[in-house]
Structure 1
Amino acid sequence: MIKLFLRDQFPLILINLLQITLILIVLWASGLQEMKLVLYTLFLGAFLLTVYLVYRYLSLKAFYKRLANPVARLDEIFETLDSAPISAALGELLRSQHRLYINEIELAKIKKNEHVTFINQWVHQMKTPLSVIELIIQDHDEEELLSIREETDKLEKGLEMVLYAARLEVFEQDFHIQPVSLKHIIDQVIRENKRLFIKNRVYPEVNITGLTVESDEKWLEFIINQVITNAVKYSAGKGGKAQIFTDKTSEGTHLFIQDNGVGIPKSDLKRVFDAFFTGENGRVYRESTGMGLSLVREVCEKLGHKVEIESVQGEGTLVKLTFYN
């Protein structure tokens, strides 16, 4: 703070020293060569400059303190500054900037809420024609209609992902922590994806006891649905299993979802949770968006869970969800 003050006042100090020096030179050149008078003049100049600097520092102490120590909280800008004109002007500037900042924040919140509302309405509107298509083709087994059913399933899952991604913006208003049965969630996800399992010739092998965890049922179903969908999709055609089992330790409850699919290259493993990252497998499976696991990690962090992935290319992938005690 003192260093800032001295740097600010340095031009004034320099000018005063130059002024005193010039006065002494003029006096000396005019024939006044009494050393006592010269020293007295020098002392008076230095004394007056020191008094002024001390007064200036004390009157602007809070001002320089504020400049030297940026605020940690927004409400600190309303702390009383000195009564000096420049301090008062700074206080008024900070208050006006704070008002502008709050207005911008409120405007951004309004726009964000409008965007989330629009996305929610749009997704629900798009689900209506999908439901109608499902009703039309559900009693028919023709190959063409089965292909349409597969595509509608993809559309529905894509719409669900958009809906959940939009809801993340207002996550704090859209979750409720309560005891949730893992077995119930797993069974529900498997039922919803039964056509996906059949199409990809993957068999779900579930070994879960009646464990309950503290979580939000809707968001946890989204997490598990994303992981199981990936396990089935990347095991397509291999006729393998999607093994789902649990383990309880002193740390908490662990849910494991393991497949024997294509696996993830070691070079891609550290980036699988990055948004829009599809990696080497994404070039083979064109439907990959790179958003599924990114949303899974973000939701897990918000719920206080942990998600980890282990994988060996060509052998399969293991996803571990940890629910802390």
Structure 2
Amino acid sequence: MIREYLRERQSWIYLFIILQFLVLFVAYLDASINFQSVLYVTFLSFVIFILFIIIRYQKESAYYRVLKNWNPSDDLGYLKEADKPFEKISEKVVREQVEHYKRELNDNIKQLEQEKDDLLSWIHEVKTPLTAMQLMIERLEDDQLKSQLQYEWLRIHLLLDQQLHQRRMASMKNDLYIEKVALKPLIYREIKDLRTWCMQKGIGFDVNLEITEVLTDAKWFSFIIRQLLTNAVKYSENSDVVISSIDDDGVVQLIIKDSGRGIPVKDLSRIFDKGFTSTRNHQDYKATGMGLYLTKKVANALKINIDVESKVGKGTTFTLTFAKKNTFLEITSM
């Protein structure tokens, strides 16, 4: 910080140097003045001035050294060291600005929380007419119309479900309940919700579970399965989705394999990015790019690792690797 201090005081330093040279110049021109004595006094003045600069640097830079090393996440305790008029001015301005931004931040947080609560309330309200619509659709006699309406109803249902979980994700850690979850009923329940869509696209399921139970949170894990199965059905036609579970050296893996259009190699590293859809079918305006992004976030919270293998035209395989029992101590202690 010595350079900054010298630059700050450079006008004073230049003034001092100019005055000393001016005194020497006058002594040189005036024969009645002893030049040697003036030169000696000038030398002593320079020494004293340098000592003065060093002492003032230590005192005047103390406040700014603390300010420079201040971490924005800390409070404003560092400002208590301000004891000079200009430092007190900066202290006052900084405190007022920080307080202003704190008030703005609190107001924005309250507004966001209110909007979140309003949206969650709206989603729950919408579920009531959706349930009524489902009952009406079931009574339709025109099978083609019934199938089309059920497909559109399912799309709305899945989008609302995605929004609901996205809004709850901020407080997800407070909502986790790790327990032994039976895979078979959970997977079959998610398949059942997609049955209309699957029938429309000629898609079946082959479920072969070597491991029938896993340690996880049932509600949030259901969301992961729902998103992966939805993707498998969405990008497949007239084929089976194979779901299996294995024990790989004490680690449980759940494998979901489809025979759909596949994912280009250049897209594989980006499929979990927020908002990313595809470079292959970039005109697919129905895709939101949020499904796999949210899936990855939930999986990370549940300590589930997701690996993806895919070939264009050959299908995609998602492998979910569950954490060992000891790892869940991290979750439950959060």
Indicate whether the TM-score tops 0.5.
yes
- Mapped partners of 2:11, 2:68: distance in 1: 19
> Structure 1 stretches of 5 or more lacking a match?
none
Go from structure 1 to structure 2 and tell me whether the alpha carbon gap of 1:280 and 1:134 turns closer, same or farther (over 3 Å shift).
same
SS in 2 for 1:324: coil
Note the C-alpha offset of 1:259. 0.5
The TM-score normalised by the length of structure 1 is 0.88
SS in 1 for 2:252: strand
Q: Which 4+ residue blocks in structure 1 deviate beyond 4 angstroms?
A: 283-286
What do the CA deviations read for 1:16-71 (whole angstroms, capped 9, x no partner)? 11121112112222225534312222123213422432332232242231244242
SS in 2 for 1:199: helix
SS in 1 for 2:261: coil
Go from structure 1 to structure 2 and tell me whether the alpha carbon gap of 1:193 and 1:105 turns closer, same or farther (over 3 Å shift).
same
Mean Cα deviation higher: 275-284 or 162-171 = 275-284
Note the C-alpha offset of 1:108. 1.9
Residue identity in the other structure for 2:2 = I
- Mapped partners of 2:108, 2:66: distance in 1: 29
Give the corresponding residue for 2:204: 203
What do the CA deviations read for 1:75-109 (whole angstroms, capped 9, x no partner)? 26546425333333343333333322322221221
- Mapped partners of 1:120, 1:37: distance in 2: 87
Give the corresponding residue for 1:276: 275
Give the corresponding residue for 1:62: 62
Give the corresponding residue for 1:262: 261
- Mapped partners of 1:172, 1:7: distance in 2: 51
- Mapped partners of 1:306, 1:257: distance in 2: 14
Go from structure 1 to structure 2 and tell me whether the alpha carbon gap of 1:105 and 1:173 turns closer, same or farther (over 3 Å shift).
farther
Note the C-alpha offset of 1:216. 2.6
SS in 1 for 2:38: helix
Go from structure 1 to structure 2 and tell me whether the alpha carbon gap of 1:6 and 1:119 turns closer, same or farther (over 3 Å shift).
same
Give the corresponding residue for 1:95: 95
- Mapped partners of 1:194, 1:9: distance in 2: 78
Note the C-alpha offset of 1:154. 1.2
2:241 and 2:258 in contact (8 A); partners too = yes
Q: How do residues 1-325 of structure 1 correspond to structure 2 at under 5 angstroms?
A: 1-32=1-32, 34-71=34-71, 73-75=73-75, 77-78=77-78, 80-142=80-142, 143-208=144-209, 209-213=211-215, 215-236=216-237, 239-249=238-248, 252-280=251-279, 282-283=281-282, 286-325=285-324
What do the CA deviations read for 1:253-303 (whole angstroms, capped 9, x no partner)? 322111011111222222212222221454475532221111112222333
Mean Cα deviation higher: 13-22 or 28-37 = 28-37
Go from structure 1 to structure 2 and tell me whether the alpha carbon gap of 1:108 and 1:282 turns closer, same or farther (over 3 Å shift).
farther
- Mapped partners of 2:253, 2:106: distance in 1: 41
Note the C-alpha offset of 1:163. 1.7
Go from structure 1 to structure 2 and tell me whether the alpha carbon gap of 1:190 and 1:267 turns closer, same or farther (over 3 Å shift).
same
1:71 and 1:77 in contact (8 A); partners too = no
Residue identity in the other structure for 1:272 = I
Residue identity in the other structure for 1:277 = F
Residue identity in the other structure for 1:116 = K
Give the corresponding residue for 2:330: none
SS in 1 for 2:75: helix
- Mapped partners of 1:297, 1:309: distance in 2: 12
- Mapped partners of 1:198, 1:176: distance in 2: 34
Note the C-alpha offset of 1:217. 2.0
Residue identity in the other structure for 2:92 = E
**Paired residues, number:** 322
RMSD between superposed Cα atoms in Å: 2.4
